[in-house]
Structure 1
Amino acid sequence: MMPSVPQSDSEAYYRTLFESMDQGFCVIEFFDGPHGPLSDYIHIEANPAYAVHAGIPNVVGQTLRDMVPNEADAWVARYGAVLATGQPIRFEQELVATGHYLEVSSFRIEPASRRQVAVLFKDVTDRKRAERALMDVNETLEARVATAVADRQLLAGIVENTHAFVHVLDMEMRYLAVNSAAAAEFERVFGSRPRIGDKIGDLLAAHPELLADLRKAWAKAFAGEDYVMIDEYGDPSLDRRYYEQHFSPLRNAVGEQIGAYQFGYDVTDRLAEQDRLRIAEEALRQAQKMEAVGQLTGGLAHDFNNLLAGISGSFEMIGIRAAQGRTADVEKYIHAGQGAARRAAALTHRLLAFARRQTLSPKPTIINKLLSELVELVQRTVGPGIAVETIAAGGLWTAQVDANQLENAILNLCINARDAMVGGGRITIETSNRWLDERTARERNMVQGQYVAVSVTDTGSGIDKSILDRVFDPFFTTKPIGQGTGLGLSMVYGFARQSHGQVRIYSELGQGTTVTIYLPRHHGTQDEREAVAPARLPRIHPSGESVLIVDDEPTVRLLVADALGDLGYHCIEAEDGASALKIFEGEPEIDLLITDVGLPGGLNGRQVADAARVLKRDLRVLFITGYAENAVLNHGHIEPGMEVLTKPFSIDDLIRRVERMLHETKAGSGGK
């Protein structure tokens, strides 16, 4: 693992490398212009070498269309593809405005929402001129070779003054031409100097492995291909360097191939600079990640410590008042502790929603019907100073979603909207059908197809564009300390992504904000059985039903056993999976298994349940879990007779769930 680098050091290292590198380097940021979305960009960073290679000084702050309006579309197309796809590119292109021919490599700066692309380039005008000249010579080279094959001045006037390494070979890999730079470099790394008429095979006869490398590099050129490659060459006892090589076939005047030629140059230092830049950026990203982790844990500790103080303080006061005999005061401390516990549970649910680890039960849902039942709760929550209206689209598709979690998400958005409208205002909840084509879906990091959209719009203060990309981050909030956890929008984001949807936000300062949740369409109709509220079950009078409780936390076992025992159930406890199975083998007439999913000792709750069902096929199983271990629960696949209850749960919820599950057992079997 790479050691972490302090952020200040990594930034200084990055800045030093940025300012001192020989290559031109800049960072551009795309924006929407008069020519359309992402149709222009501005230079936000540029090193001193930029002006040297591009011929344009003081580029920072200039937009592309102000600098080179006649060439803007071509450059936007190049870098726009990098921004859209995330795929780095290498290319050569002339900057017509200055007459400089540039060799460019470009990559996207993550995340893509920053709309930034990094560009590394150098001026290769001399090399391009030499290449053009050599291509002109290619048409007449056969005649010139026939009359002066041994003339060492064959290409002197064309390529001798270029910095590129030029090699021209016939079909037997015999030198027809080589410029001084190439001959000197070949001698430096291979130990022998090539001359016109020499064969590469003779020059490297003592180094068959090096010769094999060169034959492989030239092979496609002798097969008639044009290509570019970067590879390492040289005798390890002398030097090995990286070279970028442009290979082309050499043809005579009538189009017959008579050899091949190559333009190359040493890119070892450039690659090393790119590696150093990459390492510096990785260090910077790591520092930013650690800063985010610090913000996350700090916010979490702040909120949980407040809640734990309320819970522990309530228990202490209950103990004090009990010792004093003042039992009349106990009830208010019980209520205070329960309230703090409920808020702590809500906080963990928000964290799990952000991490996409909450338990979801997506079902076909008619969202318009859900809104009609939810709007009254929203109005009570936001207060009389804010008007709440709904705009329900006609013919709205059925959505595949967990209705309860969707209600929580909408309520969170409405609470955020309320807080943004201090002097009152209006909240509009709107539904619509959306079909996203391939391009739009890709831009929004979604899958092409049909979605049901739920939008919450307010007339509040709006959000500054400088922080708009951060609003879904956990614990990011603009509210004063103690007035918000910063988990509301991150919960909405996590819920939408876990539901295979997406969240989009649009805001204007002083105008308001719109947050839209996209949910996948259910292709079918709502299951009417789900639409009918279940009838209230009669309370069971236990007649000796046995319940096996498996949990490694003694407090949980104690509370569950006492609560069910008070109702007359026969409760048996086990602290791990192995103990539970031993109990079950000795007492198979157990009616209900209540087990935690995560258990110590090698057997998890699902494995215990599966093994117990081998002994008793109709055994009812209630999983109780701190979060949805989807891998253990077979990615959400729960068999008939199995249910999940998420911790922390109320005793009343536990009792209702147990009675319903055992009631179904009795109803199915006609009683015990």
Structure 2
Amino acid sequence: MADAFAFLPPGGVTGAEIRARDWSTTSLGPPEAWPTALRSTLSLMLSCPTAMFLAWGPDLLCFYNDAYRPILGYRLPTALGRPFREVWASIWGEIGPLVDATMDGESRKMTDVMLDLSREGEPERSWWSFSYSPVLGDTGAVNGLFCVTAETTDRVLGEAALRESEDHFRHTVELNPQVPWTCDPHGNITSYSNRWLELTGQAAGEPDGAGWAKALHPDDLPGTMTAFAASLSSGEPVDVDYRIRVATTGEYRWMRARARPRRNEGSDIVRWYGVVEDVHDRKAAEERLREMNATLERRVEEALAQRKLWADVFETTDALVAALDPDYRVLALNRAFADGFEATYGARPKVGDDLLGLLDGVPKQRELVRSVWGRALAGEEFVTVEEFGGPGRSRSCYEIRFTTLRDAQGRRIGAFQYAVDATERVRGQEQLARAEEALRHAQKMEAVGQLTGGVAHDFNNLLTIIRSSVEFLRRPTLPEERRARYLEAVADTVDRAAKLTSQLLAFARRQALKPEVFELGERVRATAEMLNAVTGARIRIVTEVPDEPCHVRADTSQFETALVNLAVNARDAMDGEGTLTLGLTCGEGLPSIRGHAGAPGPFAVVRVSDEGAGIAPELLARIFEPFFTTKEVGKGTGLGLSQVIGFAKQSGGDVDVASEVGRGTTFTLYLPHVGPPPESEEDGDDEAGEQDGGRALSVLVVEDNLDVGRFCTQLLEDLGHTTVWAHNAEAALDEMGRMPSRFDAVFSDVVMPGIGGVELARRLRASHPDLPVILTTGYSDVLARDDAHGFELVRKPYSAEQVARALRGVLARQRKRTPA
């Protein structure tokens, strides 16, 4: 009878299991019906010594070779012929997407992938490299998946251990007072620790090759290079003394350089490993000992050689060196550490002492030492700066490096401290901070001087117009036409002065605002229509406003003024021709602007973009300063952008600017987004107020300034009202107490000595809720922080019409609240 498995190679455990299995019950059917592609792939896989598996057919039934069997672990008895997904169900989340991609015709290769195969039924961490390839059936369609795999766990873990070891070695090298170095077989320096750069002052890379020799004393250079060359030629260890110039002091100190070669299997030198150590103090000691006794010199040399690592390095340095075990017992210390500890805490430690036990009498210092050393003993490696006190100590500030001590097996056995004097460096940093503070103060004073000069210049110009006009108005023979012209000039100049004051207060965020909730899209559209008259016909204005409403709470007049100021700047930047774009978005966050922290929002965002000349980068930081302008003399005051940023900040937002020279500028105004206002029933106030327009009122005037008080009472009397003048809030309260029903309204200044106008208004609201109160001010820090507190506000300088309108308005609202 013909062998149905003749295509399988002879031998092999897996081949025998395939022959022994009844395949007729599987989706593959009897082997006589197996496709040629399956037969050839199985034959190839079973003959290969590399671990492989094959998943075939619609159920992806599992085949594998003998090399793959150990990978299956406890799954081995049931894996053959089972669906691949069932065999590796525990890791299907990781390999499932790879299987799907392979069956779609893509080959995948993965390297060092961590998989939990749980080969013994227990969780395990193992790493694998494998490739998945699609296998085509006889019809050319993808019928299976072929995988070649190899476990890389040992290599991955070995490389991780090597990286950890290298990192530990690097830290140890950098904290070592000695200077480790390497060179190639020809003597070219290839590596060294930063300690060499600190000692010599050479720059990184400068010692490479033969550059290290530049730091040597000229007298020692020939002998050093001869000895070095001899060792390179013979392969004997390097051991040579020379002097180097120490960068920090300028003195020459003796160094000892030693090195040994590393050879390959053929005994060829592949690299030299060496160390440079400071032996200057030892050299001096040796010289003194030679003068005393030649025999004693030999013995001392032998003793010093045995104690080289400690005596030559630690005991001749000013650094404070110590090591503790996890129980805070002293493993090692040098004299500098013992002296410093004794000077600071009054106890002198020695090897074997409990360092914390020495501090039992000073609990605060004990906890400080415990907290710092505790971090190091817990395995943390760090650098800190500490100040130490103590009688007679001239060095108070130390930079301390802590590193972990480990034994040969890598177990943590303690911590190592290396502290160097950092007093001069810290003092230099403190002096730098004081210098920076002085510079900031000077810049602040310069800004104050610029602001003061700008205010004086503009107000003197305005006062010149008013003074000249008044002088002409005093002439009895002045024609009526010119009299009207001078009166108009005075009125116009007063308005300009009030606008200048308003802009300054807006920049300083001290403007008394009248905030109200309004729909920003409508206001942007309305302002855009009005801007045509400002920008001119050659500038096309484009508005990009969403259909959804976007509400903010702000002073509408100040908002419109800000848009006008930005539009005027854009017009001038475009030389009167181009496209000006006004855009609005809602619900954005506030980014960090000019170093200030941002906010999540939501904010309404108005963008004003032009196609103008742009702003030079060096000027961007100054454009919001008051009176700063790049325009020609007479073309601008430099207060427009100051008003914009002041209004934005006082309204709870900010303004940003982005500009590219020659491409244009975009100003972005952020205002807090709020909900829509409640339904209002204030309609008809103006009509009701008109009904009161002719009625004579009794008004209590509260004003501490004599000139303004006389003017205000005269103005009200000229309007047909009767007045009582109180010079402060206390006097006003007395007047109200004598005859409360006597007054129809109160007209009060805000800024007064004693009780201010806002507090007076609150008291009157509490005691006489039906009595209208009107506040007036030129500037008030209270109103700048919290608008008008719900009272009617008339800003100084005010006109008779403004006062009359305010009276009509409050009386109309009062009648609506308290009908007859």
- Structure 1 and Structure 2 fold alike (TM over 0.5): yes
- 5 Å-filtered alignment, 1:22-61, equals 52=201, 55=204
Q: Distance in 2 between matches of 1:213 and 1:434?
A: 54
Answering whether residue 642 of structure 2 is matched by residue 490 of structure 1, we say yes
Answering whether residue 471 of structure 2 is matched by residue 316 of structure 1, we say yes
2:676 counterpart (520, 525, 544): 525
Q: Which residue of 2 aligns with 1:167?
A: 322
Q: Identity of paired residues, percent?
A: 37
- SS of residue in 2 equivalent to 1:645: strand
TM-aligned CA deviation for residue 473 of structure 1: 1.5
Q: Alpha carbons of 1:174 and 1:614: their partners in 2 closer, same or farther (altered >3 Å)?
A: closer
Q: Distance in 1 between matches of 2:603 and 2:682?
A: 21
Contact persistence 1:548–1:593 (CA under 8 A): yes
TM-aligned CA deviation for residue 340 of structure 1: 0.8
Q: Which residue of 1 aligns with 2:746?
A: 593
- 5 Å-filtered alignment, 1:621-632, equals 621-630=773-782
Q: Distance in 2 between matches of 1:441 and 1:325?
A: 57
Amino acid at match of 2:733: L
Answering whether residue 817 of structure 2 is matched by residue 662 of structure 1, we say no
Q: Distance in 1 between matches of 2:397 and 2:493?
A: 64
Uncovered stretches (5+) of structure 1, i.e. residues with no partner: 1-48, 58-128, 131-150
TM-aligned CA deviation for residue 249 of structure 1: 6.5
Q: Alpha carbons of 1:228 and 1:401: their partners in 2 closer, same or farther (altered >3 Å)?
A: same
Contact persistence 1:174–1:198 (CA under 8 A): yes
Q: Distance in 2 between matches of 1:180 and 1:617?
A: 84
Q: Alpha carbons of 1:180 and 1:514: their partners in 2 closer, same or farther (altered >3 Å)?
A: same
1:374 counterpart (527, 535, 552): 527
Q: Alpha carbons of 1:268 and 1:625: their partners in 2 closer, same or farther (altered >3 Å)?
A: same
Q: Which residue of 1 aligns with 2:279?
A: none
Q: Which residue of 1 aligns with 2:506?
A: 353
Q: Alpha carbons of 1:286 and 1:331: their partners in 2 closer, same or farther (altered >3 Å)?
A: same
* Relative contact order, higher structure (CA 8 A, sep 6+): 1
TM-aligned CA deviation for residue 521 of structure 1: 1.8
RMSD, aligned α-carbons: 3.7
Q: Which has the larger radius of gyration?
A: 2
TM-aligned CA deviation for residue 435 of structure 1: 2.3
Which digits, 9 at most, give the CA deviation of each residue in 1:498-542, with x for residues without a partner?
Answer: 2222212122222221112122222x3355649979654425255
TM-score normalised to the size of structure 2? 0.57
Q: Distance in 1 between matches of 2:399 and 2:699?
A: 73
Q: Distance in 1 between matches of 2:615 and 2:556?
A: 28
Q: Which residue of 2 aligns with 1:433?
A: 586
- 5 Å-filtered alignment, 1:367-446, equals 367-422=520-575, 424-433=577-586, 435-436=588-589, 445-446=597-598
- SS of residue in 2 equivalent to 1:448: strand
Answering whether residue 456 of structure 2 is matched by residue 301 of structure 1, we say yes
- 5 Å-filtered alignment, 1:72-471, equals 155-156=310-311, 164-170=319-325, 175-179=330-334, 181-182=336-337, 196=351, 213=365, 216-221=368-373, 224-225=377-378, 226=380, 228-239=383-394, 241-247=396-402, 260-319=415-474, 321-322=475-476, 324=477, 326-422=479-575, 424-433=577-586, 435-436=588-589, 445-471=597-623
TM-aligned CA deviation for residue 273 of structure 1: 0.7
Q: Alpha carbons of 1:539 and 1:303: their partners in 2 closer, same or farther (altered >3 Å)?
A: farther
- SS of residue in 1 equivalent to 2:781: coil
Uncovered stretches (5+) of structure 2, i.e. residues with no partner: 1-197, 207-273, 276-305
TM-aligned CA deviation for residue 215 of structure 1: 6.4
Amino acid at match of 1:262: Q
Q: Which residue of 2 aligns with 1:548?
A: 700
TM-score normalised to the size of structure 1? 0.69
- SS of residue in 1 equivalent to 2:625: coil
Amino acid at match of 2:398: Y
Q: Distance in 2 between matches of 1:288 and 1:216?
A: 42
Q: Alpha carbons of 1:468 and 1:533: their partners in 2 closer, same or farther (altered >3 Å)?
A: farther
Q: Distance in 1 between matches of 2:747 and 2:553?
A: 29
- SS of residue in 2 equivalent to 1:467: helix
More displaced 10-residue stretch of structure 1: 609-618 or 159-168: 159-168
- SS of residue in 1 equivalent to 2:430: helix
Which digits, 9 at most, give the CA deviation of each residue in 1:67-115, with x for residues without a partner?
Answer: xxxxxxxxxxxxxxxxxxxxxxxxxxxxxxxxxxxxxxxxxxxxxxxxx
Q: Which residue of 2 aligns with 1:648?
A: 797
Amino acid at match of 1:663: A
Q: Distance in 2 between matches of 1:174 and 1:426?
A: 78
Q: Distance in 2 between matches of 1:452 and 1:53?
A: 57
Q: Which residue of 1 aligns with 2:757?
A: 605
Q: Distance in 2 between matches of 1:477 and 1:228?
A: 50
Which digits, 9 at most, give the CA deviation of each residue in 1:298-354, with x for residues without a partner?
Answer: 1111111111211222222222x24x4655532211111111110111111111111
Answering whether residue 629 of structure 2 is matched by residue 472 of structure 1, we say no
Contact persistence 2:356–2:370 (CA under 8 A): no
Q: Distance in 2 between matches of 1:609 and 1:525?
A: 29
Q: Distance in 2 between matches of 1:199 and 1:234?
A: 21
Q: Distance in 2 between matches of 1:256 and 1:650?
A: 88
- SS of residue in 1 equivalent to 2:599: coil
Q: Distance in 2 between matches of 1:505 and 1:634?
A: 26
Q: Alpha carbons of 1:199 and 1:515: their partners in 2 closer, same or farther (altered >3 Å)?
A: closer
Amino acid at match of 2:421: D
Which digits, 9 at most, give the CA deviation of each residue in 1:160-199, with x for residues without a partner?
Answer: 6776421124577654322455456557778987654567
Q: Distance in 1 between matches of 2:541 and 2:328?
A: 82
Q: Alpha carbons of 1:534 and 1:179: their partners in 2 closer, same or farther (altered >3 Å)?
A: same
Answering whether residue 647 of structure 2 is matched by residue 500 of structure 1, we say no
